[in-house]
Amino acid sequence: MATTNDLKNGTVLRIDGQLWTVVEFQHVKPGKGGAFVRTKLKNVLSGKVVDRTFNAGLKVETANVDKRDMQYLYKDGTDFVFMDTDTYDQLNISETVVGDVSHFLLENQNALVATNEGVPLYVELPPSVTLLVTYTEPGLQGDRSSAGTKPATLETGYEIQVPLFLESNTKVKVDTRDGSYLGRVND
């Protein structure tokens, strides 16, 4: 248990049996009346974002979320198999929990896996990853401006938009939050 005065970004609360992460919070002390805390909460499982206001000093139940660095091993049917790099224990995580992270996940890649009482909540990658472009239409000579983009398929099978001058077998940096092209990577 904690009070609303202890809230900070990233804190996980248990409200009505569901887990919510504090995305934003603001302590407000109006001229009249009591102080309160205005928060923006994100449901850990569904991703739904809601605004919620709490009275200052109100007791709220915090949830213990265990975040571990794990290595992605392989896909088994609809599950992704991860291995704890410390204990070598394997954990099967359903593709609904992995979500969009699967677009940027390669075998033997490390990821942060958050669990609550042994139940996987979400998988988190670094803000950007380096992936190989396996196919894109050939670029034309003179297409050096950033004016246009074209589709490119990554080694994970996911398709992103890249500048016209990019060619197949080029390593690129990709933003894992929105799938945007960040730049070319030279070996």
CATH of the domain at 54: 2.30.30.30
Confidence of residue 156 (pLDDT cuts 50, 70, 90): very high
CA-based nearest residue to 110, from 147, 73, 159, 140: 73
CATH number, position 113 = 2.40.50.140
Name the domain count of the chain: 3
Which contacts (CB < 8 Å, 24+ apart) does range 57-60 have? Answer: 57/3, 57/4, 57/5, 58/3, 58/4, 59/1, 59/2, 59/3, 60/1, 60/2, 60/3, 60/4, 60/7, 60/13, 60/15
| Contact of 109 with 72, CB cutoff 8 Å | yes
pLDDT (tens digit, 9 = 90+) per residue, 64-121? 888 899 999 999 999 999 999 999 999 999 888 888 899 999 999 999 998 888 888 8
Supply the pTM of this predicted model.
0.72
Within this chain, do residues 120 and 135 fall inside the same structural domain, yes or no?
Answer: no
Q: How far apart are CA 84 and CA 90, in angstroms?
A: 6
H or E element at residue 15: strand 12-15
> Which residues constitute the domain of residue 176?
128-184
